[in-house]
Amino acid sequence: MSSIIYSQFYYDQESAFRTLHESAQRELGDRLMPDSAWKQVADHLGFTAVDIETLEAKYTTHSAHQMLRRWSRRDGSTLRVLKMTLERIGRQDVVTFLDDVCKRKRTSSQTHWLLNSYDDMI
């Protein structure tokens, strides 16, 4: 049972973006809003110019977050793909943020797993 709990909370490069906590997804979107960096990300992730314009018109202050949510429903929307895209457009700051989120979650998951393993032993 402990390994199932551990794997449910563990983020790695192949984890689907949609498994990332909603607050982390929002923060990621907020970090992409200045300078319209989200449009570059959207373009690299396969959104058309019309898609981008529609998102911008409909969700003026949360365009990046909405774009990421829509992308998360597509096949292949993994953290690895997002990190590669962010690196391509030179947003190492956002890659670092994403790595930190995953690291914190992994550390938290390992603690959770260890506590559950201990409970199983007693």
The model's pLDDT over 76-94, given as tens digits with 9 standing for 90+, comes to 898 889 999 999 999 999 9
pLDDT at site 6:
29
Cβ burial of 91 (10 Å; 0-12, 13-18, 19+) is buried
- Examine the pLDDT at 51 and tell me if it is beyond 90: yes
How confident is the model over 2-47, as pLDDT tens digits?
Answer: 332 323 344 556 677 888 888 888 999 999 998 889 999 999 999 9
Contact 89, 40 (CB under 8 A): yes
Residues 117, 109: Cα–Cα separation, whole Å: 12
| Architecture in CATH for domain 2-121 | Orthogonal Bundle (1.10)
